[in-house]
Amino acid sequence: LSAAEKRARMRVSIDAPASMFAETLRNAKIAFDVVMEGQSSRVIGVISLLPGEGKSTVAANLAGLLAANGARTLLIDGDLRNPGLSRSLGMETEQGLMEAVVSGQTWQSVGKVDRQTKLAIIPAVLRGQFSHTSELLSSAGMRRFIDNAKETFEYIVVDLPPLGPVVDAKAFAPLVDGFVLVTEWGRTPRAMVRSMLESEPYVANKIIGAVLNKVDLKRLAKYGSLGGSEKFFDRYSTYYLEKSEARTKQAA
């Protein structure tokens, strides 16, 4: 994908708010609003088991949806070893999450704000092979950084590294109110998901919902049970508008 296409993918929920993808993210919002009712600020970690399952895309679109609806929202790239979120958003900066935490700065010192939605974004800057990322994510400095951000934002969405290769997401878990697990349809083995849930109860107990990503809806219907909702996706189509509203207005 080109840089422009990558950026567009990170804004589907903003540019096409009536799409099926945006509606899926609204379902996730309802889930953690119910679970975290009464909390003035909610920290949501977005995780996957394997790289490339689309967690950064889900994190960016979830945060964008929240901000576009008027909620004060902060999006953090917490994948300090492979900051795909920052790359996809085209953020070029010398200062990011790591620098702010190490030097004791607040989110304002490194945050960027989207002019359209007012979404605040904390990028990550890759500086060689920094192997102590889990210690940074679980540090007292990180807790102070998050606590400071919670004074301003209603939602803090953190894109975390996948659970399979590194321990970073587990290290950050004490600061998270709930996780959204992103799994890729047809690629992530069910046995691996089951094993993770059983072996990492501290993470599993905080999972509020799962997003089945990159689904082939036509093929999915073949796997559903009799009477399952996946058999009726073609009837739901009139409720969704997959095209960008901006492009639709231009065409008109």
- Short-list 142, 161, 145, CA closest to 153: 145
Task: Please state which of the four CATH numbers 3.30.428.10, 3.40.50.300, 3.40.140.10, 3.30.420.40 is assigned to the domain occupying 3-214.
Answer: 3.40.50.300
Sketch the domain layout of the chain as residue ranges: 3-214
Model confidence at 251: pLDDT above 70:
no
Going by pLDDT thresholds of 50, 70 and 90, the confidence category of residue 214 is confident
What residue ranges in the chain does DSSP mark as E strands?
A: 42-48, 73-77, 112-113, 120-122, 155-159, 178-184, 207-213
Please report the pLDDT score of residue 50 as a whole number: 92
Residue with tokens 């960008």: 244
pLDDT for 57 equals: 95
Question: Has residue 219 got a pLDDT over 70?
Answer: no
Q: What is the pLDDT of residues 222-250, one digit of tens each?
A: 666 655 666 566 666 666 666 654 444 43
**pLDDT value for 182:** 94
